[in-house]
Structure formats: C-alpha cells, structure tokens
Amino acid sequence: MAASIVLLTGAGISAESGVRTFRDGDGLWEQHRLEDVATPEAFRRDPALVHRFYSERRQALAGVEPNLAHQALARLERERPGEVLLVTQNVDDLHDRAGSRNLIHMHGELLKGRCLACGAVFAWPGDMSCDSRCPACSGVGRVRPHIVWFHELPMDMDRIYDALQRCALFAAIGTSGHVYPAAGFVEAVGPDTRTVELNLAPSLVASAFHELRTGRATDLVPAFVDELLAGL
C-alpha cells in the first residue's frame, strides 16, 4: 500500500490566479475588519454587509482560472498510486476546477450557501442577500454563506487529523500560519512523517517543518509534484 500524502493549501496557491490573499500587502484584511464581515456576530449585527462582502468575492471568482500549482496537485492525485488528500483553507473553487477530487474545504466554499432554517447546503454562484430564498425549504432571509467564520468549527476535522497521523508526507503550500487549527497541522503528524513548507516567504510556523522551499507556487509546486511522481 503506497504511503499517503496530505497537502494543506492557503491563499498563496491562488494568488497567481488573481485571488487576493488575506494578509499580504493588498490583502482582504487590509480592506475590511474581519470582525465586521467574517464572524457569526458580524452576520447577526449587519447581515447585508456580510452578504455584500461575499457577493463581491463570488463575482471576482468568476474572472479567475486555476493556475499551474492547482493543476499540478490535481495531476499528483490522478497519477500517484497512494492516497493524496488535499485540505484547503481556500473557499475559492480553483482546486475543484483544476480536477482535485479527494479535497476538503475546511473553511467552507464561496459558491455554496446554507439554510439556517433547514440546514440544507446548496450551490450558490450568484449574489446572496437578506431576501434570498432557500432552494430546499423556500424559507426567506435564512440563507447564509457556506463559509466557516472565525469562532466556528472548521469542516471534517476528524477526517483531517486521522489522515495527518497516518501520512508519510505533509506539505503546506501558500499559507501564513496565522490561523489555527490549520497552522497546527504540522505538529499533528506522525513521528516519521516528512514535512515540507512551500511558500513565498517563511510562515509563522516554518521552524516546525523539516524542509522549506521558498518561491512562487506556480514554480515550486509543479517541480515538487514531478519529484513525488518520480519517487524522489
């Protein structure tokens, strides 16, 4: 049974596609206080502002494409005999569009909505507002973005921790190490797991990795995947 790989991606893998990161120079959190648009309290306080924030990001997503790094990770999953689990913090659909299937969106998905009345989760590619109607129960004004906000539990954590403890390789790509639990994944792997960080600059948890590769994702990731497929 070929050893398994767990990959974690953050906003840096989508940066070269034109999707803004959160904490780089022109990052999203430079433009908005996350307390105003990315917490349950913000949604209770001003749902219209929160809906506008996510509707703007959905519209921006329509104009971008997966890049060579997204495509390389999909190729790794297709061509490598052992399991490749891709855990992304990103809410964009670029890994999905690149062809990754064994994929967990631990912070939710921008192009989906959730109904607070009936709990249904459904595709929602367009704008969302306080007047939006749930496609499952027809309730009005109870639809929210299917996004994990701060102070909320990320998705599929049991499955992620199980994979981390079993994998032979853990690689973190384009994530700053600011936000837990993702920033702590490198500490949750087994004693023999090889750990690699690929990033434009060392993250806050870079010292916890065996190996650091510095550069742009579209350069580093295809080369890394070639190595893994060659059995290096």
Residues near ligand APR (CB under 6 A) are: 10-12, 15-16, 21-24, 27, 89, 107, 174-176, 178-179, 199-201, 203, 216-217
Closer residue to ligand APR in complex, CB, 100/175: 175
Closer residue to ligand APR in complex, CB, 10/222: 10
Closer residue to ligand APR in complex, CB, 114/216: 216
The question of whether 107 is a catalytic residue gets the answer yes
Tell me how far, at minimum, the Cβ of 9 lies from ligand APR, in Å.
8
d(CA 187, CA 181): 10
Q: What is the DSSP letter of 187?
A: G
Tell me how far, at minimum, the Cβ of 209 lies from ligand APR, in Å.
13
Could you tell me if 196 and 210 are in contact, meaning their C-beta atoms sit under 8 angstroms apart? yes
Tell me how far, at minimum, the Cβ of 118 lies from ligand APR, in Å.
26
| DSSP-based three-state secondary structure for 57 | helix
Half-sphere exposure of 152 (CA within 13 A, CB side): 17
Tell me how far, at minimum, the Cβ of 181 lies from ligand APR, in Å.
11
Helical (H) or strand (E) element with 221:
helix 217-229
Closer residue to ligand APR in complex, CB, 118/201: 201
Classify residue 197 as exposed, middle or buried by CB count within 10 Å of its CB (0-12, 13-18, 19+).
buried
- Helix 68-79 with 217-229: angle, nearest 10 deg: 10
Could you tell me if 110 and 54 are in contact, meaning their C-beta atoms sit under 8 angstroms apart? yes
Tell me how far, at minimum, the Cβ of 107 lies from ligand APR, in Å.
5
Could you tell me if 133 and 139 are in contact, meaning their C-beta atoms sit under 8 angstroms apart? yes
Closest among 99, 144, 139, 97 to 117, alpha carbons compared: 139
Residue nearest to ligand APR (CB): 12
Residue 189, C-beta contacts closer than 8 angstroms, at least 6 positions apart: 6, 164, 165, 167, 170, 195
Closer residue to ligand APR in complex, CB, 26/192: 26
Which residue in 51, 105, 107, 146 is the catalytic one? 107
What is the set of active-site residues?
A: 107
